[in-house]
Structure 1
Amino acid sequence: STKPVPFVLEMNVGWFAKRGIKAGAKLKGAPFAP
Protein backbone atom coordinates (compact mmCIF):
# COMPACT_ATOMS: atom_id res chain seq x y z
CA SER A 1 0.00 0.00 0.00
CA THR A 2 1.10 3.53 -0.62
CA LYS A 3 -0.81 4.70 2.49
CA PRO A 4 -1.05 3.43 6.08
CA VAL A 5 -3.52 0.57 6.46
CA PRO A 6 -5.32 -0.83 9.54
CA PHE A 7 -4.91 -4.50 8.55
CA VAL A 8 -2.34 -6.76 6.94
CA LEU A 9 -3.38 -9.95 5.17
CA GLU A 10 -0.90 -12.81 5.06
CA MET A 11 -1.95 -15.35 2.44
CA ASN A 12 -0.24 -18.15 0.54
CA VAL A 13 1.64 -17.30 -2.66
CA GLY A 14 -0.80 -16.83 -5.53
CA TRP A 15 -3.90 -16.40 -3.33
CA PHE A 16 -4.55 -12.82 -4.45
CA ALA A 17 -3.77 -13.48 -8.13
CA LYS A 18 -6.06 -16.52 -8.18
CA ARG A 19 -8.92 -14.29 -6.99
CA GLY A 20 -8.05 -11.28 -9.15
CA ILE A 21 -7.28 -9.05 -6.15
CA LYS A 22 -4.75 -6.34 -6.96
CA ALA A 23 -3.11 -3.47 -5.08
CA GLY A 24 -5.67 -0.82 -4.20
CA ALA A 25 -8.58 -3.27 -4.00
CA LYS A 26 -11.09 -2.50 -1.26
CA LEU A 27 -12.21 -5.52 0.72
CA LYS A 28 -15.66 -5.60 2.27
CA GLY A 29 -17.12 -7.44 5.22
CA ALA A 30 -17.36 -7.22 8.99
CA PRO A 31 -13.61 -7.44 9.71
CA PHE A 32 -12.93 -4.47 7.42
CA ALA A 33 -15.77 -2.17 8.53
CA PRO A 34 -14.64 1.08 10.19
Structure 2
Amino acid sequence: MLTLTPICEAELRMQQSMPALLNEPTSGVEAVIPSS
Protein backbone atom coordinates (compact mmCIF):
# COMPACT_ATOMS: atom_id res chain seq x y z
CA MET A 1 0.00 0.00 0.00
CA LEU A 2 3.00 2.28 0.54
CA THR A 3 4.10 1.97 -3.08
CA LEU A 4 1.40 3.23 -5.43
CA THR A 5 1.40 2.47 -9.13
CA PRO A 6 0.89 5.33 -11.64
CA ILE A 7 -2.68 4.12 -12.21
CA CYS A 8 -3.44 4.15 -8.48
CA GLU A 9 -1.96 7.64 -8.16
CA ALA A 10 -4.13 8.84 -11.05
CA GLU A 11 -7.22 7.32 -9.44
CA LEU A 12 -6.40 8.93 -6.09
CA ARG A 13 -5.95 12.30 -7.80
CA MET A 14 -9.27 11.91 -9.59
CA GLN A 15 -10.96 11.01 -6.29
CA GLN A 16 -9.53 14.12 -4.65
CA SER A 17 -10.49 16.28 -7.63
CA MET A 18 -14.03 14.89 -7.88
CA PRO A 19 -15.14 13.73 -4.42
CA ALA A 20 -18.75 14.67 -5.14
CA LEU A 21 -19.01 12.02 -7.87
CA LEU A 22 -17.75 9.34 -5.48
CA ASN A 23 -19.96 10.50 -2.62
CA GLU A 24 -23.01 10.64 -4.88
CA PRO A 25 -22.51 8.17 -7.76
CA THR A 26 -26.13 8.48 -8.87
CA SER A 27 -25.92 12.25 -9.23
CA GLY A 28 -22.52 11.93 -10.90
CA VAL A 29 -23.80 9.43 -13.46
CA GLU A 30 -26.83 11.58 -14.21
CA ALA A 31 -24.59 14.64 -14.65
CA VAL A 32 -22.11 12.80 -16.87
CA ILE A 33 -24.85 11.03 -18.86
CA PRO A 34 -27.58 13.58 -19.71
CA SER A 35 -29.42 11.08 -21.88
CA SER A 36 -31.35 8.64 -19.69
TM-score range, shorter chain: under 0.3
Larger helix fraction of residues = 2
Larger RCO of the pair (alpha carbons < 8 Å, separation 6+)? 1
Question: Quick check: which has more Rg, 1 or 2?
Answer: 2
